[in-house]
Structure 1
Amino acid sequence: MPFTDKNIREDPAALAELQRLGYRATPVTVIDSEVVVGFDRGKLERLLGLS
């Protein structure tokens, strides 16, 4: 499954994107237009069609 890993410590654009989304903590996962803050296995599985 393709994904893009963004390191906010090394990539100022990734940090700006996180801030633009209104978040100050990680992990933040964006799947299509859905945002998952923190680790929510159930929501991630649902959004990825794994449940």
Structure 2
Amino acid sequence: MSNSNVVVYTSRNCTQCEHVIAKLSEWGVDFEERNVSENREYFKELQSKRIYGTPATFIDGEKILGFQVRKLKRTLGIPYEERFIDKDAMNFS
């Protein structure tokens, strides 16, 4: 779906990592997964970026830490439907 360069740094037993991977797959986004638990070089890459936890997603160089659906969608250009109603914007007159 996306023409973006997407790299996701993951680790073993990381629920948030699983959520990121699941959403990207659900949205049809091609990505490269780099598991820092299985590959020491990936761990060093992440540390060189001054990041010490997973998931860390890079979309065309933009960093997204953790599982942030809105930020992932916005960065990928996927429309996001807001679930919350802005009561200040509603006019009851």
Same fold (TM over 0.5): yes
Calculate percent identity across the aligned residue pairs.
37
Structure 1: stretches of 5+ with no match in the other structure: none
What TM-score do you get using the length of structure 2 for normalisation? Answer: 0.52
Q: Which residue in the other structure is 1:8 paired with?
A: 36
Give the secondary structure class of the aligned counterpart of 2:35: coil
- Say which structure, 1 or 2, has more relative contact order (CA 8 Å, 6+ apart): 2
Q: Map Cα deviations across residues 2-37 of structure 1 (whole Å, 9 max, x no partner).
A: 210111011111101110111111000000010000
Residue identity opposite 1:3 in structure 2: F
Q: State the aligned residue count.
A: 51
| CA-atom RMSD in angstroms | 0.8
Q: Distance in 1 between matches of 2:71 and 2:30?
A: 18
Please state if 1:25 is matched with 2:53: yes
- Structure with max Cα Rg: 2
Q: List alignment gaps of at least 5 residues for structure 2.
A: 1-28, 80-93
Question: Aligned-pair distance for 1:48?
Answer: 0.7
